Amino acid sequence: MITVVVSDDEKLIRAGIKKILTENIQIPLNVIEAKNGAEALELCKTQSPDVLVTDIRMPVMDGVELMKQVSALEEKPGIIVLSGFDDFAYAKAAIQSGALSYILKPVDKKELVAAVTYAIEISRKEEQERNEETLKIIAQEGRIDSESDFDTEAFQNGYYCISVSGHNSLSFLENILKPVKYYILERKKDFSTLVLPKEALFLVTEDMESVPGFIGVSGVEKSLSNLKVARRQAFCAWLENFFDKEKSKKEKVFHYKDSNSDFSKLDLSYEKLVGRLDISEPEEIRKCLDKLFDFAETETDFHNAAEKLNYLYLKITSDLFTRYSSFSEKDLYLNMKSIMIENIWSLKTFDEWLVFVRDYCIYLSALLSRGVVEHPFIEEALEYVARNFTKNINMAIVANQVSVNYTWFSEKFKEHTGVNFNEYLKNMRIEEAKRLLEKDCYKVYEVAERSGFGDVKYFMKTFREATGKTPTEWKKSLV
């Protein structure tokens, strides 16, 4: 319920405001009256209202002092100021205290309702953001902090975690879930994870034709301490679409079911793969990967197959990536492959994903077995490029930086990275340009400067050659 404090020294005005709000705002309101600023301040401290509607001229404590004191509170309401005096000094004081609206008396009903409705929307948005941050911490740590003040009323009958893929999937969900209280646990491009009340699931699943992608649904949970488990279950259920192709053609929702997957053999195969990365030839790496993922071909229980894929996905994106994080940070190719592996939801089939895993492992194996060990200056050069690629650098500058002959450096750089220095530098700048364009807050010439290209015409030509689109076209394709 939304709490509104109305502060005015005239009883009839307080009653009139209360009547306007309760009759014209179609959500439950708890309107509390205060006859002066001191009473209103105490209510703001004890009741934590969402909105404060206050007059300026009041006894004991006036509206200006009240706003000043309220603005210093940790939990402060949205402030709407009423005044019978068209005085700039009062308006200035209201603005300095963060007031959302300044309304002159006699109060216009529509203006008051609009101002309070806006304040309620802001309050709800701020509460939503606070609660989502709390839920993210709970999901990461797998426990509820004893000091957590998360309101579990919406989940009193239980809750589901759902993972949803597809272009504009989040916008789709936000539209159909407007009538209920839900929270976004994870938001990435074309993939989202949400927490919603048990009784709201039908809103997501009833109109399957409108769903832009696949949906994974966790088991129903009662306690938020199980949120980490529910999140894993939702993602695991989503992964089932890679295996149950017949169901994928007819349905888009996959519900989590308990399985009896045994991960001991997977662990042995995984450790064998990792242990041989620095000494094996590409063909042997492929064989290790085939053995590791053979369940994808032999497993007849799709739930078990999804469980095993989820287990290995976490192994690779957490353990393997962490072990060799320094390589991904310095090597653009390896970094790009790791991003595609992590963004498994952007792919249509398991086989597509496995190709990226193979490429990553074989390339990493090559780095481990020869490149950096044999030529330490390459590692130093890659670090220098990673720090300075947006500046005006070239191969001569980098070769001089690591104190190596220009020709020798060029030969070994290409041998190590698979591309010549200029191509490597260009690719890094293209990726940075994409990142800046995705932020949607820079003009094209600014992106050209910030990504290291400098000249905007050269940037546009190079970007189109690399992506097949102009920077503007590429940015529009993200929407």
**What pLDDT score was predicted for residue 189?**
83
Element housing 273 (H / E): helix 264-275
**What pLDDT score was predicted for residue 36?**
95
Q: Which residues on adjacent β-strands are paired with residue 54?
A: 7, 81
Cβ of 475: how many Cβ atoms within 10 Å?
19
Of the candidates 295, 173, 159, 333, the one whose C-alpha atom is nearest the C-alpha of residue 234 is: 159
Residues in the chain with pLDDT < 70?
A: 85-91, 145-151, 207-210, 370-375, 478-479
**Separation of alpha carbons 97 and 129, rounded Å:** 22
Q: Could you write out the DSSP letters of every residue in 196-260?
A: EEGGGHHHHHS-GGG-SS-EEE---BS-GGGHHHHHHHHHHHHHGGGT-HHHHHH--EEE-----
The torsion angles phi and psi of 331, rounded to 5 degrees, stand at -110, 115
pLDDT per residue as tens digits for the range 165-190: 988 888 888 888 887 888 999 988 88
**What pLDDT score was predicted for residue 323?**
84
Element housing 188 (H / E): strand 183-188
**Separation of alpha carbons 464 and 445, rounded Å:** 15
Element housing 51 (H / E): strand 51-55
**What pLDDT score was predicted for residue 345?**
93
Peptide bond into 106 cis (omega under 30): yes
Pairing of strands 183-188, 253-255: unpaired
Q: Could you write out the DSSP letters of every residue in 448-474?
A: HHHTT--SHHHHHHHHHHHHSS-HHHH
Give whole-number Cα distances, 158 to 27, 88, 162, 251, 260, in Å: 24, 52, 13, 25, 25
pLDDT per residue as tens digits for the range 25-53: 988 899 999 999 999 999 999 998 999 99
8 A C-beta contact, residue 395 and residue 406: yes
Give whole-number Cα distances, 121 to 117, 127, 300, in Å: 6, 10, 50
Of the candidates 71, 73, 3, 70, the one whose C-alpha atom is nearest the C-alpha of residue 33 is: 3
**What pLDDT score was predicted for residue 383?**
81
Of the candidates 291, 338, 298, the one whose C-alpha atom is nearest the C-alpha of residue 319 is: 338
Pairing of strands 191-197, 51-55: unpaired
Q: Which residues on adjacent β-strands are paired with residue 255?
A: 217
Provide the total of helices (H) and of strands (E) in the chain, helices listed first. 25, 10
Pairing of strands 191-197, 183-188: antiparallel
Q: Which residues on adjacent β-strands are paired with residue 161?
A: 195
